Amino acid sequence: MSALPQPVLVIGTGLIGTSLALALRRCGVVVLLEDRDPAALAVAVQRGAGVAAVPGDTAPGLVVVAVPPAATAAVVGQALDRFPTAVVTDVASVKVPVLRALLAAGQPVDRYVGGHPMAGREVSGPAAARADLLDDRAWVVTPHPGAADRAVAVVQELALAVRALPVLMPPEEHDRAVALVSHAPQVLSSLLAARLLDSSETAVSIAGQGLRDMTRIAASDPSLWVEILAANAAKVGDVLAAVRDDLDRLLAALEVADGTGATVLVDALRRGNAGRQRVPGKHGARPAPTVELPVAVPDAPGELGRLFAAVAAAGVSVEDVRIEHVLGRPTGVVEIAVAQPAAEPLAAALRDGGWEVRG
Amino acid sequence: MSALPQPVLVIGTGLIGTSLALALRRCGVVVLLEDRDPAALAVAVQRGAGVAAVPGDTAPGLVVVAVPPAATAAVVGQALDRFPTAVVTDVASVKVPVLRALLAAGQPVDRYVGGHPMAGREVSGPAAARADLLDDRAWVVTPHPGAADRAVAVVQELALAVRALPVLMPPEEHDRAVALVSHAPQVLSSLLAARLLDSSETAVSIAGQGLRDMTRIAASDPSLWVEILAANAAKVGDVLAAVRDDLDRLLAALEVADGTGATVLVDALRRGNAGRQRVPGKHGARPAPTVELPVAVPDAPGELGRLFAAVAAAGVSVEDVRIEHVLGRPTGVVEIAVAQPAAEPLAAALRDGGWEVRG
């Protein structure tokens, strides 16, 4: 049972709306559902996400708008009109345009606080929804100067009720943050991957883990991403323009790479080192230094299980893991990242156990 | 025992030279060693990589030059002079400058064929060398029009003798390929990571797996990479200039993102989708479609082992694996990539076994 004002009305029973509703039902919250598509609504009801709202319902204490980005501001505005005492929030992935539209329309934004649960999936629709979609995910809650303290508290409570981790951030800061850590990386991954279209099969065949990592998110859905980029165009543009300026300097340096340019190149690489150290590790905090141990693992069922059982038997906690992909042969190297002090003892223990720890 | 012409002389007993020599000793090849640094040479000899070359030695049938990139062409030239019947190769990571310097010096390049074993490590020196460093790694062998067939065959044989996987590619094509699949990605990763230096702690704290992947190689060694970028400056510049031009088009599109710009954005994202599909999967070949199953794994020793044992018990082969890193809490989600047809049965089997397979 949760301290949320009830019932909660979820408008929009797509993937996020339905998953959220299922998560609220999981902790006993009364959930009303609306969707302009009766078929989507029926699926959500059938999944157990709540009941379809009808005119005689008790007025909701909280309304969550989970409709596509372009429709969000209008639906939030209608909800503020329809339910004069309810707190209203939304889940759009860009926050400033929603708030700006509400202010321009003269809406009472004291009861509105936006949010952004950070749980993208490559699927959509209520059939793909799951009660645990938001478990352990960051949910950015974006208070603004006109918001009532209670509204902020209710939206934080919503995030906690569905087992997400609320992070407070003003709308401007949120949009700048996602431009930097999510939207600009998406664009750079896509542009790099697009360069591969011009290359020979052989050239691509010698690619290693670096290229694989750099192009993974290039597989994302274009129709979703064009909406996100359009909604956050100015801030994404700021980050990418800075990258473009750095790239121009670097291109100039490459033309004189043996001489004066080398300083520019080294500086860019060093700044990259420093920036990378700011990326959070396994526990969200500043990462402790880790070491990667490459272990050869036969490509047979059970070998990964044997390996991680051996790691556990050595009493070592795994910080990260990735499989090295190797040209033309079904033999893999698994890179196990562990805290620096654990690396040497683990390597010794694995070798004692007959594992081939490399290089 | 190998069919290589013997003895093999390895000039330069750093990480690659010593590892290569150890791998040759592993299959019984007679190895002579040279290094202008007597201390490095002594370590390599002490490690069992071969014997220090002396004036009375039998002339080598094959010379491998494994000195720093900037010194490679000169040392290869000297080797061609010193050993008039030997095949000579090198391991520098950019190939055209070496060949060009030899041709400019009027050297007999029929006996020279370059190579590039693709095995970077973050360590260096003979003490870090290992006999298995090159096992299963691609070794690009770069024939040129003036090379004798026998020289090409000997260098391929060298790669096979140390259990690497030879890939034939002309020097120009090699340098263009590594500019695309290795050097340009390195630069873009560094530039993106450098952008994080300007951001707040909170902004970086909400970063997800995308940013982690995109900035991993930004941790690479600047002093090594400045040499590589300088040696391949023109071809890296070609790739990066094309990225810069695409970026300029995209920045212009972001300024009119709701209207005419949307087409440009969608096109860039779609080209990224198509390019990503060219990146080779686990076995070097065009990847079969895989599906990622997110499985919640308690952050306790042994859980990863239990999970992969369960996957093996289901008879499913793991194509890739990564640990999702989640804000602020020591609970992890492990993404297990498996072939598409195996995904549903595996999800069902894991759920039956009590695992939490997420949406």
By C-alpha distance, which of A323, A214, A332, A194 is closest to B278?
A194
Query: Which of A123, A190, A232 best tests the B interface by mutation, with the highest count of B CBs <10 A?
Result: A190
The segments of chain A whose pLDDT lies below 70 read 1-2, 120-123, 281-289, 325-331, 359
Q: Looking at A68-77, B123-132, B262-271, B294-303, which range is the least confident one?
A: B294-303
Instruction: Nearest chain B residue to A321 by CA: give it.
Output: B322
Can you give the length of chain B in residues? 359
Q: Are B145 and B62 in contact (CB under 8 A)?
A: no
Reported confidence tier of residue B215, pLDDT bands at 50, 70, 90: very high
Pairing of strands B8-11, B62-65: parallel
Q: Who among A203, A241, A321 is closest to B180 (CB)?
A: A203
Q: Note the helical H segments in B27-148.
A: 38-46, 69-82, 96-104
DSSP class of residue B179 equals I
B104 in A contact zone (CB under 8 Å): no
Contact B196 A305 (CB under 8 A): no
- Residue A143 has phi, psi (to 5 degrees) of -65, 150
Tokens 């770069």 correspond to what residue?
B142
Reported confidence tier of residue B284, pLDDT bands at 50, 70, 90: very low
Contact A195 B305 (CB under 8 A): no
Could you give the CA distance from residue B260 to residue A200 in angstroms, rounded to a whole number? 33
B230, two tokens: 């300088």
Strand partners, B357: B295
Could you give the CA distance from residue A348 to residue A295 in angstroms, rounded to a whole number? 12
Tokens 């390019």 correspond to what residue?
B275
Could you give the CA distance from residue B225 to residue A266 in angstroms, rounded to a whole number? 8
Residue B147: CB atoms within 10 Å: 20
Domain boundaries, chain B: 8-169, 175-276, 290-357
Average pLDDT (B32-37) is 97
Q: Which helix (H) or strand (E) holds A90?
A: strand A87-90
Contact B191 A243 (CB under 8 A): yes
A71 in B contact zone (CB under 8 Å): no
Q: What is the pLDDT of residue A311?
A: 86
Q: What is the pLDDT of residue A283?
A: 42
Reported confidence tier of residue B2, pLDDT bands at 50, 70, 90: low
| Residue numbers in B near A266 (CB within 8 A) | 222-223, 226
Q: Note the helical H segments in chain A.
A: 15-26, 38-46, 69-82, 96-104, 149-161, 171-178, 184-195, 201-205, 209-215, 222-231, 233-255, 261-276, 303-313, 340-352
Tokens 């708008």 correspond to what residue?
A65
Domain B175-276, classified CATH 1.10.3660.10, yes or no = yes
Q: What is the pLDDT of residue A46?
A: 96
Q: What is the pLDDT of residue A281?
A: 65
Contact A181 B204 (CB under 8 A): yes
Q: Who among A191, A203, A269 is closest to B176 (CB)?
A: A203
**Residues 241-270 in A contacting B (C-alpha not used; CB under 8 Å):** 241-244, 246-248, 250-251, 254-255, 257-258, 261-262, 265-266, 268-270
Asked, colleague to colleague, whether A175-276 and A290-357 share their fold, the answer is no
| Residue numbers in B near A302 (CB within 8 A) | 308-309, 312-313
Could you give the CA distance from residue A195 to residue A215 in angstroms, rounded to a whole number? 11
Residue B255: CB atoms within 10 Å: 10
Q: Which helix (H) or strand (E) holds A62?
A: strand A62-65
| Residue numbers in A near B241 (CB within 8 A) | 251
Reported confidence tier of residue B300, pLDDT bands at 50, 70, 90: confident
Q: What is the pLDDT of residue B329?
A: 44
Reported confidence tier of residue B279, pLDDT bands at 50, 70, 90: confident
CATH class for the region spanning A8-169: alpha beta
Mutual orientation of helices A171-178 and A233-255 as an angle, nearest 10°?
40
Could you give the CA distance from residue A331 to residue B209 in angstroms, rounded to a whole number? 26
Average pLDDT (B124-146) is 90
Q: Which amino acid is it at A323?
A: I
Q: Tell me how many degrees the CA angle B223-B225-B227 measures, rounded to the nearest 5.
A: 80
| Complete DSSP assignment for B180-196 | IIIIHHHHHHHHHHHHG
| Residue numbers in A near B338 (CB within 8 A) | none
DSSP class of residue A39 equals H
By C-alpha distance, which of A60, A49, A52, A8 is closest to A26?
A49
Tokens 């196990």 correspond to what residue?
A336
Q: Who among A229, A320, A328 is closest to B323 (CB)?
A: A320
- Report the complex ipTM: 0.79
By C-alpha distance, which of A132, A108, A22, A111 is closest to A62?
A111
Q: Is B131 left (phi over 0), alpha (psi -120 to 50) or beta?
A: alpha
Q: What is the pLDDT of residues B143-176, one digit of tens each?
A: 999 999 999 999 999 999 999 999 999 999 999 9
By C-alpha distance, which of B141, B128, B127, B17 is closest to B68?
B17
Could you give the CA distance from residue A292 to residue A343 in angstroms, rounded to a whole number? 8
Question: Is residue B317 over pLDDT 90?
Answer: no
Respond yes or no on whether the N-terminal peptide bond of residue B97 is cis (omega within 30° of 0): no
Q: Are A318 and A291 in contact (CB under 8 A)?
A: no
Q: What is the pLDDT of residue A284?
A: 46
Q: Are B265 and A224 in contact (CB under 8 A)?
A: no
In CATH terms, the fold of domain B290-357 is: Alpha-Beta Plaits (3.30.70)
Q: What is the pLDDT of residue B1?
A: 43
Dihedral sign from CA coordinates of B296, B300, B303, B305 = positive
Mean per-residue pLDDT of chain B: 89
Q: Sheet of B8-11: strands edge to edge?
A: B51-52, B31-34, B8-11, B62-65, B87-90
Q: Sheet of A320-324: strands edge to edge?
A: A320-324, A331-339, A290-298, A356-357
Q: Which amino acid is it at A312?
A: A
Q: Who among B130, B258, B303 is closest to A230 (CB)?
A: B258
Strand partners, A290: A339
**Residues 269-288 in B contacting A (C-alpha not used; CB under 8 Å):** 269-285
